[in-house]
């Protein structure tokens, strides 16, 4: 079935023209499902941690060490979906639905091609990778078993990320959220059952959490592929054509996706180093840092959501040669992102102590953590702007400039935090205060670059088969 036939038979699957929707509505239609999806993923991690923690300190330490490795892998893989998302968005904006569908098929094909070698490497190198943590033997055994399962089944994870990126590029962020919601519910029951051996399932201990995650993601992939085969907003992977891998398409995707992936890995590494810097201040400081970071991860959700919406809408505007719409969408997303994250900042500042007491009753941890949250409040609106304008530049196909600005900015912050601790006897609040200096500058640079590029954005580069 051709895309044109699909459109004729199911008009609800066709993206409404930009003129029929207000810019606010277009931004929110894409942003809120992403925010919801990321919130569900965050809550899923919390639930999994609570269940594994019932097995004892060895289990939680082993699983935690494996997840630290997977944190870097997921950061890179999720960013690679940016390439597919941007190219599909530009094709949809140009109303070239056959090209968008072709890109969707090729993205799925290449996600499998990329992930199979990664799965093999991860499985066989799990023990050497974990050896850098210097784990106790019993903890290392748990970590190795868990990591081998998660890396050995990473194919499902990659297809899930790429498929979600394709749908968001087509303007559909609701389907990935709905699929994630279902998978998360299934995962909770499977995790409990496979860890403790209930409901007729085998008792696998801590590794049961890894198998539950794999099975729930497998279900999500099946549903996602089914939805994509039916078609969303004129984009479908149905049909037998164009399923053989084409290297030029992979090159086009990687030219956009690789800088985004490198950016996420370097930022993840920077936050890891920042944690090491804080660890030199003692256990109470480290505990307050981790709690503050958890609160921070929730405040990031609106920024991420509006950033992804900006990427899709700016990309579609490039394809449609309506750069005025892309500019308006980006600035609207930035405004709403700043409002939402600014609201979170007010809550952080006013209720810092109660937030910390919800996690711990240790007075020193509460004191240091509350001071950190109040400091973090001042940088929240600027982070919203740098998130959104980074996403807007990616929608133009420019992922290298956000890579340079964001990595230099975050590593400069780490350096300032280290200087505060080493030479100025600063505490954890002073470490976080470094963002007050760097985040406004980063946001301003990204805004200026986007404003300059959107005026003269080139037409989308042709992809093999166009």
How does 161-198 read in b/e, with b if 16+ C-beta sit within 10 Å?
Answer: bbbbbbbbbbbbbbbbbbbbeebbebbbebbbbbbbee
The reply to whether 91 falls in a domain is yes
Same domain, 330 and 365: yes
Q: Does the pLDDT at position 50 exceed 60?
A: yes
Considering the domain architecture, whether residues 197 and 234 belong to the same structural domain is answered as yes
> Is residue 216 domain-shared with residue 298, that is, in the same domain?
no
- What are 420-452's pLDDT values in tens digits? 888 887 788 888 889 999 999 999 999 999 988
User: pLDDT of 109-168, one tens digit each?
Assistant: 888 888 888 888 888 888 888 887 677 788 788 888 888 888 888 888 888 888 888 888
- Identify how many contiguous H helices and E strands the chain contains and give both numbers: 17, 0
Query: What pTM, to 2 d.p., does this model score?
Result: 0.77
Residue 2: inside a domain, yes or no? no
Q: Tell which of 179, 214, 245 closes a domain.
A: 245
Select from 259, 229, 260 the least CA-distant residue to 104.
229
Judge if 104 and 241 occupy the same domain. yes
Does one domain contain both 400 and 461? yes
- The DSSP line for 303-316 is HHHHHHHHHHHHHH
> Is 16 within the bounds of a domain?
no
- Does one domain contain both 235 and 295? no
Highest mean pLDDT among 23-32, 69-78, 126-135, 431-440: 431-440
Within a domain: residue 169?
A: yes
Mean pLDDT estimate for the chain: 82
For residue 82, pLDDT beyond 70: yes
CB 237 within 8 A of CB 106: no
Residue 8 lies inside a defined structural domain of this protein = no
Structural domain count of the chain: 2
Q: What is the pLDDT of residues 273-302, one digit of tens each?
A: 887 787 777 777 777 777 777 777 778 888
Instruction: Evaluate whether residue 303 is within a structural domain.
Output: yes
Looking at the domain assignment, is residue 98 inside a domain?
A: yes
Tokens representing 240 are: 């037998």
Residue 405's pLDDT is: 94
CB distance 86 to 311 below 8 Å: yes
Same domain, 443 and 376: yes
pLDDT, greater one: 456 or 198: 198
| Averaged pLDDT, 219-223 | 92
Res. 256 pLDDT band, cuts 50 70 90: confident
Same domain, 40 and 81: yes
Residue 12: predicted pLDDT: 39
Residues spanned by the domain of 67: 21-245
pLDDT at 464 over 60: no
Mean pLDDT lowest among 49-63, 408-422, 430-444, 450-464: 450-464
Q: Does residue 463 form part of some domain?
A: yes
**104-113, 370-379, 450-459: lowest mean pLDDT where?**
450-459
Domain end call among 245, 265, 281: 245
Q: Are residues 123 and 71 in the same domain?
A: yes
Q: Is the pLDDT of residue 4 over 60?
A: no
The C-alpha atoms of residue 420 and residue 435 are separated, in whole angstroms, by 12
In this structure, the answer to whether residues 276 and 419 fall within a common structural domain is yes
60 and 206 within one domain: yes
* Domain-ending residue, one of 245, 280, 310: 245
Same domain, 289 and 223: no
């Amino acid at each position: 079935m051709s895309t044109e036939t699909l459109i004729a038979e199911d008009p609800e699957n066709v993206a409404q023209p930009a003129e029929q929707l207000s810019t606010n509505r277009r931004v929110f239609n894409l942003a809120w499902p992403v925010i919801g999806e990321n919130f569900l993923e965050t809550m899923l991690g919390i639930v999994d941690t609570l269940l594994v923690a019932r097995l004892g300190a060895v289990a939680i330490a082993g699983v935690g060490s494996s997840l630290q490795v997977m944190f870097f892998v997921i950061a890179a893989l999720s960013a690679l979906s940016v390439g597919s998302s941007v190219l599909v968005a530009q094709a949809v904006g140009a109303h070239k639905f056959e090209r968008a569908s072709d890109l969707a098929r090729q993205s799925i094909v290449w996600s499998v091609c990329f992930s199979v070698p990664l799965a093999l490497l991860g499985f066989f190198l799990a023990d050497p990778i974990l050896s850098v943590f210097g784990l106790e033997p019993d903890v290392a055994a748990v970590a190795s078993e868990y990591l081998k399962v998660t890396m050995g089944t990473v194919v499902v994870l990659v297809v899930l990320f790429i498929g979600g990126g394709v749908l968001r590029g087509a303007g559909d962020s609701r389907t990935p959220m709905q699929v994630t919601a279902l998978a998360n519910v299934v995962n909770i029951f499977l995790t409990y059952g496979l860890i403790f051996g209930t409901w007729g399932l085998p008792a696998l201990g801590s590794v049961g959490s890894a198998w539950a995650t794999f099975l729930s993601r497998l279900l999500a992939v099946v549903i996602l592929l089914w939805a994509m085969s039916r078609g969303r907003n004129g984009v479908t992977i149905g049909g037998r054509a164009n399923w053989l891998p084409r290297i030029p398409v992979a090159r086009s995707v990687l030219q956009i996706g690789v800088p985004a992936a490198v950016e996420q890995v370097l930022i993840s590494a920077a936050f890891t180093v920042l944690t090491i810097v804080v660890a030199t201040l003692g256990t109470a400081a480290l505990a307050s840092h981790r709690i503050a970071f958890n609160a921070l991860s929730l405040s990031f959700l609106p920024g991420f959501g509006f950033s992804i919406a900006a990427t899709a809408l700016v990309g579609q505007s490039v394809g449609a040669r309506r750069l005025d719409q892309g500019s308006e969408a980006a600035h609207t997303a930035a405004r709403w992102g700043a409002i939402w994250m600014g609201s979170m900042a007010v809550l952080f500042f006013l209720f810092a102590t109660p937030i910390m007491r919800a996690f711990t009753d240790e007075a020193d941890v509460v004191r240091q953590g509350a001071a950190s949250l109040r400091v973090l409040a001042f940088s929240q609106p600027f982070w919203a702007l740098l998130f959104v304008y980074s996403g807007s530049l990616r929608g133009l196909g420019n992922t290298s400039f956000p890579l340079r600005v964001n990595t230099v900015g975050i590593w400069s912050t780490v350096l300032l935090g280290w200087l505060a601790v080493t030479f100025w006897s600063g505490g954890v609040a002073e470490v976080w205060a470094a963002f007050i200096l760097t985040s406004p500058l980063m946001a301003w640079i990204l805004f200026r670059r986007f404003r300059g590029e959107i005026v003269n954005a080139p037409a989308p580069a042709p992809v093999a088969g166009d």
